[in-house]
Amino acid sequence: MGSTGTVLRELRGAQKSAKGVSLYSRYVNRPAGRVLAAGAYRAGLTPNQVTLVSAAFTYAALAAVALVEPSWTLGLAVYAALAVGFAFDSADGQLARLTGRGGPDGEWLDHVVDCGKLLLVHAAVLISFYRFGELPSDAWLLLPLGFQLAAVVTFCAGLLREQLGKAAATAPAATAQASAAPAAPGTPPAPVSRVRAVALLPADYGVFCLVFLLLGAPGAFRAGYAALAVVHTLFLAAFLTKWFRELRALRPG
């Protein structure tokens, strides 16, 4: 592969499906990740190295949230680092598909970094609240713990849904059912729902990162963070119900 333009064209052809993806990830994060993946390819980086770059940006930003007194400058720096880290999180998978160098080790590393990110982002907010918050009530310290619970359960339940679904699809009964009703050749993929892509925006990590721009106004930050916690909890309830029904439908017999 030659020029950066050629690499970008190859990356566009290696994109994952847009199904179940919010508008932010589809039109902001993935294109940004594509540019970063092209740069990483030209620099000779491996997908795992790109994952570690993502972790460096993200974890440095979260350490700053926990250790530095909130301000507008800090909020801008934290948001920028989190957004860049999220774009690199997209770039590692795109680079892996482009080069064919992905594998179980890379997928494992990516999930470990993501899980650590979900734990640390809310732990950092909790520490910031405790050290700098001047909270109206100590009950506010429970908010990051609840948000963390919703985020981690959503992440783990989603991974389990994916893996159990794959296992059921490869079971003999599922294979027999699939072979009994093959899809018509040339059938186009189902169209991506724009309404769903908009509805998923509040649950997108990239949209969540925007709340850190409010770090210079503690009251506004708490209100925005609390609103997102409520939204993510509602999404968790909806996702759990959906995933349970989908897995129940995969029961043999």
Distance CA 199, CA 197 (A): 6
CB 47 within 8 A of CB 106: yes
- Among 197, 123, 121, 115, smallest CA distance to 154 is for 115
The larger pLDDT score, comparing residue 170 to residue 182, is at: 170
Each residue of 55-108: pLDDT tens digit?
999 999 999 999 999 999 999 999 999 999 999 999 999 899 888 877 889 999
Listing DSSP states for 181-243 in one string gives SPPPTTPPPPPPPHHHHHHTGGG-HHHHGGGGGGTTSHHHHHHHHHHHHHHHHHHHHHHHHHH
Q: Nearest 5°: phi and psi at 113?
A: -65, -45
CA 122, 124, 126: angle at the middle one, nearest 5?
70
Single pTM value for the model: 0.84
pLDDT digits (tens, 9 = 90+) for 234-251: 999 999 999 999 999 988
